[in-house]
Chains A and B, each alone.
Chain A
Amino acid sequence: MLAQTVTGQNVRVVALIGNPNTGKSSLFNALCGMNARVGNYPGVTVEQKVGRLSGSTELIDVIDLPGTYSLAARSADEAVAVNVLSGELPQQTAPELAIVILDASNVERNLYLFSQVYELGIPVIAVFNMWDRVESEGLSVDAELLSKRLGVPVLCTSANRRRGIEQLKRAIEESLSNRTDGPKPEQLARAMFPPAFHQETLALTNWLAENGRKPSMYQVDRMLIDTDGHFQKTICQSGLPGIADRIDEARKRLGEAGCKVPMFETKARYAWVRKLIDGAVTRQESRSASSSDRIDRWLTHRWIGMLFFVLVMFLVFQSITLFAKLPMDGIEWLQGQSSSLVESVLGPGALRSLIVDGVIAGFGGVMMFLPQIAILFLFIAILEDCGYMARAAFVMDKLMSSVGLSGKSFLPLMSSFACAVPGIMATRTIESRKDRMVTLLIAPLMSCSARLPVYILMVSAFVPATRYAGGWISLQGIVLMVMQSLGAIVAIPVAWVLKQFFFPGEPATFLMELHSYKWPSVRVIQQRVWERVVAFVVRAGSLIVCTSILVWAAAYFPGDHTQLDTILIELEQKPSEALQQQANVLRSELIESSFLGMVGHRIEPIVKPLGWDWKIGVATIASFPAREVIIATLGTIYSLGSGETHESEGLQEKLKAARWPEDGRPVFTLGTALSIMVFFALCAQCSATLMTIRRETNSWRWPIFSFVYMTTLAYIGAWLTYQCCQWWS
């Protein structure tokens, strides 16, 4: 199966595979440049990354497969690599060549994966990456000897420094033009499997062939070796009667023959690797490994390690708030400037409102996240590349395992306290799919910075300024603190429920490689930050802008804006207090008669048990795209004009003065304020977050799920809060 381009020229496909931390993405970038096409494999959460080999006369696509230690697949996600390599993925052209990347300082475990790829029957090139490290650490690898023993090209590169890349490109082209025979069966690690196993696979292959199935040799091997593995499950579900029993019986016979599944496989492969590298690779302890151990003695030390971890986290999050402020203010300023520019060109009317309140506000909302995303990913890239990230997970693992997650979930969740969008994007560092999904789904519960303005407004207006302990402890401060931590506290049972009922099965494993410390590479960091930023702007951004325009339209139509527009024109010519007042009243009337206002009145019976009137209901609905919008909307509805801030005295006074029309009781009591805050603490009012979840999970199912579960939680939480307050007073 060959892909065709528009010009009719064939595109040839090669695949890149290797262990994690072998510099695979740097090598991919060195081969293809910065323009990779990123998508998702159909039906799984695995990212599909394809690039075009640069500087080649032929059209060659390079597929970057996810980093893995083994081709044994337990889930559909893990089977992606095998399926791509054996050309069994329907939408993906079968690769004609596999490039296996190896880390010379950890040669045995890297060659383990090689031994599996070698058996797939696809031509292979072995590449020792990070070759500069081999040289500087006095390791020795005889690439020529290995190449002779394996019968495949063995190359050495330093992708970070762009060394050896041209040779690799030539080797790729050469391998594609002259097809070789591939390894002989006796060259494979498989030849070292016990005879009993070969009998069983032969019997099973024949039986499958009689029943019209022709799986590859590798798949038959995996059906027998991996207990409850992906290939066993697929064949058992394919409607072949008796297959499950056949596999069970074969395993039982293997066990009786002293050939224990899965031990014999790993044993044979590692023995094969030992034989292969004997005399070709020195197995001495690398210098960086022992100096890494010395650093680890301090950085994972009982007290010093903990202190260092807290310090690093403190530094990261301080920098985010510190350095993001300036660019964010800049973006806000630009947004204001472009709005005034539009306002100076266009007169008041629907078009101007669409551009200013819909497009510019939506686009500005997207850009507003960029500084935080860029800074967080800068730190993540540095920490990951130098090796500390794995240690941070190591240090925090015990704490996170108490809620069924691993140490790797800590940083994404911590980041979500600033903003859930970069936090959710950071869950990519979690290899376990189930852990990643749970982390991603609870991340929006962490109290992000957009919730703070709402809390401050409500607390300063409606929580009494009582002080305790001689003025040292204020009630307002306590309420603020409770609201800030509420989401994280609720996240604990939510994580437990998700783990138990939505992502059960897989036992908690935390096998993690702690690779040696090294100086981070500028090129790698640049690339990672760039990738994240582009991914956010292009894929989440467009959807966020769409949502803002939709909400704008709901709040604008179908009201008649001519009177307001006339006043606005007058105002622009000659500002006056009275006219401004009139415009504000008109604005609030227009919102009330808009689609949004209609919905607000309709839902009043639903929000009344929370202690809310329809205006709060409308403001809450309007703030579903972005929760901080509630302040501006409350300002508009309580006819203050837009542009309110949470510190503004005017808004607080207006809210305090609001009365129920039936009996003249004040709308905002302590109970109402608390119920609003609890609702905002738990609700998924952020289109950017939902779109990021959609992008990261490659499905609409999870953003909808998040939205439903969080809104339900928020409603129940707000109802309980209000009812308790009523009962108390």
Chain B
Amino acid sequence: MSPVKTTLDELHPGETAVIVEIIGDDVVASRLMEMGLIEDETIGMIGRAPMGDPTEYSVRGYRISLRKNESVRVIIRKDS
């Protein structure tokens, strides 16, 4: 199957994907990159908060919480 390009907020619990790029050059984008969300890194989805947002992800061996408006900035490649 060919890889599917989508955004990080589309990931379901337990799924993993590879980061393709982060959109933008503002504070949000550079913060995301500083925290280690860089192209070719694997990122996994752990679970959503009770009210549906934010979401817990695992990257580089640690856990990070991202809001939807941040995770839509992360383009990922998912092997479907």
A419 CB to closest chain B CB (Å) equals 28
A72-B34, A293-B46, A296-B56 known; A515-B63 Cβ under 8 A: yes
Q: Is the CB of B34 within 8 A of A398?
A: no
CB within 8 Å for A508 and B69 given contacts A296-B46, A514-B56: yes
B20 nearest CB across to chain A (Å): 12
Per-residue CB proximity of A495-532 to B under 8 Å, as 1/0?
Answer: 00000000000111111111110000000000000000
Interface residue? A468 (CB, 8 A): no
> How far is A374 from B57 in the complex, measured between Cα atoms in Å?
34
Chain B residues in 8 Å Cβ range of A309: 50
A306 within 8 A of B: yes
Contact A109 B56 (CB under 8 A): no
Question: Does A699 interact with chain B (Cβ within 8 Å)?
Answer: no
B1: interface (CB < 8 Å): no
In the complex, what residues of B have CB within 8 A of residue A306's CB? 50
Q: Which residues of B contact A301 (CB under 8 A)?
A: 47, 50
- Binary CB contact string for chain B from 19 to 40 against chain A (1 if under 8 A, 0 otherwise): 0011001111111111110110
The answer for the CA separation of A289 and B50 in the assembled complex, in Å, is 21
A residues within 8 A CB of B61?
A: 105-108, 283, 285-286, 289
The verdict on A289 contacting B52 (CB below 8 Å), with A261-B25, A296-B46, A515-B63 known, is no
Q: A260-B25, A511-B65 are in contact. Are A394 and B56 (CB under 8 A)?
A: yes
Q: Quick check: is A340 within 8 A (CB to CB) of the other chain?
A: no
- Tell me whether A302 and B50 are in contact (CB under 8 A): yes
Task: Contact check, A106 vs B65: say whether CB atoms are below 8 A apart.
Answer: no
Assembly CA distance A300 to B51 (angstroms)? 10
A390 to B54, CA, bound (A): 12
Residues of B with C-beta under 8 A to A285 = 61
User: B72 at the A/B interface (Cβ < 8 Å)?
Assistant: no
Query: A542: which B residues are within 8 A, CB to CB?
Result: none
CB distance from A390 to the nearest CB of B (A): 8
B66 engages A511 (CB within 8 Å): yes
Verify A511–B32 contact, CB threshold 8 A. yes
Q: Which of A286, A306, A401 has the most CB of B within 10 A?
A: A401
Is the C-beta of A467 less than 8 angstroms from some C-beta in chain B? no
The yes or no answer to A364 lying at the interface (CB within 8 A) is: no
Min CB–CB distance A19 → chain B (angstroms): 10
Assess the B27–A74 pair: CB atoms within 8 A: yes
With a CB–CB cut-off of 8 A, which chain B residues contact A509? 27-28, 31, 67, 70
Please, how many angstroms separate the alpha-carbon atoms of A19 and B64 in the complex?
14
Which segment of A144-152, A213-221, A263-271 sits at the interface?
Answer: A263-271
Inside 8 A of B50's CB, which chain A residues have their CB?
Answer: 300-303, 305-306, 309, 395
Q: Which residue of A lies closest to B46 (CB)?
A: A293
Contacts of A394 in B (CB 8 A): 49, 54, 56, 65
A289 touches B67 (CB 8 A): no
- Cα separation A508 to B31 with both chains bound (whole Å): 12
**Cα distance, A126 to B62, chains bound together (Å):** 20
Query: A262 at interface (Cβ–Cβ under 8 A)?
Result: yes
Task: From A262, A289, A302, A506, give the contact of B62 (CB < 8 A).
Answer: A289
Set A107, A395, A507: member contacting B28, Cβ < 8 A? A507
When distances are taken between beta carbons in the complex, the residues of chain B under 8 Å from A513 are: 35, 62-65
Tell whether, in the assembled complex, residue B53 and residue A262 are in contact, meaning their CB atoms are under 8 Å apart: no
How far, in angstroms, from A401 to B53 measured CA to CA in the complex? 10
- Interface SS of chain B: mixed
Residues of A within 8 Å of B32, CB to CB, are 511
List A contacts of B28 (CB < 8 A).
507, 509
Q: Which residues of B contact A723 (CB under 8 A)?
A: none
Any B CB within 8 A of the CB of A112: yes
Determine whether the beta carbon of B65 is less than 8 Å from that of A512.
yes
A residues in contact with B52, CB < 8 Å: 398
A399 at the interface (CB under 8 A from B): yes
Q: Is the CB of A397 within 8 A of B54?
A: yes
Which A residues are in CB contact (< 8 Å) with B6? Answer: none
Q: Which residues of A contact B67 (CB under 8 A)?
A: 397, 401, 508-510
When distances are taken between beta carbons in the complex, the residues of chain A under 8 Å from B27 are: 74, 506-507, 509
The closest CB in chain B to the CB of A70 belongs to: B34
Q: Which of A227, A507, A514, A516 contacts B64 (CB 8 A)?
A: A514
A69 within 8 A of B: yes
Tell me, yes or no, whether A656 is within 8 Å of chain B by CB: no
Which residues in B have their C-beta under 8 angstroms from that of A398? 49, 51-54
Q: Is A297 an interface residue (CB 8 A)?
A: yes
Q: With an 8 A cutoff between CB atoms, is A226 at the interface?
A: yes
Per the bound structure, the CA–CA distance linking A654 and B70 in Å amounts to 61
User: Are B31 and A109 closer than 8 Å at their CB atoms?
Assistant: no
| Contact A514-B65, Cβ < 8 Å, known A69-B35, A72-B34, A108-B36 | yes
* Shortest Cβ distance from residue B53 to the other chain A in the assembled complex, whole angstroms: 5
CB <8 Å contact, A112 and B36: yes
Chain B residue numbers with a CB within 8 Å of A397 are 49, 51, 53-54, 65, 67
A292 interface residue (CB < 8 Å to B): yes
What's the least CB distance linking A228 to chain B, in Å? 8
A69 pairs with B34, CB closer than 8 A? yes
CB distance from B18 to the nearest CB of A (A): 15
A112→B41 CA distance, assembly (Å): 15
Among B34, B46, B54, point to the contact of A266 (Cβ < 8 A).
B34
Chain A contacts for B56, CB-based, 8 A:
296, 300, 394, 514
B28 to nearest A CB, angstroms? 5
Chain A nearest CB from B71 CB (Å) reads: 10
Closest CB in chain B relative to A287 CB, distance in Å: 12
Which residues of chain B have C-beta atoms less than 8 A from A226's C-beta? 30
- Minimum CB–CB distance from A400 to chain B (whole Å) comes to 10
Q: Please state if B26 and A227 are interface contacts (CB–CB under 8 Å).
A: yes
Closest B residue by C-beta to A507: B28
Interchain CA distance A292-B64 in the complex, whole Å: 13
Please name all residues of chain A whose beta carbon is closer than 8 Å to the beta carbon of B12 when the two chains form the complex. Answer: none
18 A-B contacts (beta carbon < 8 Å): A70-B34, A105-B62, A106-B60, A107-B61, A108-B36, A109-B36, A261-B25, A262-B25, A266-B33, A283-B61, A296-B56, A296-B63, A301-B47, A302-B50, A395-B50, A507-B26, A509-B31, A510-B67
List chain B positions with a Cβ less than 8 A from chain A: 21-22, 25-36, 38-39, 46-54, 56, 58, 60-67, 69-70
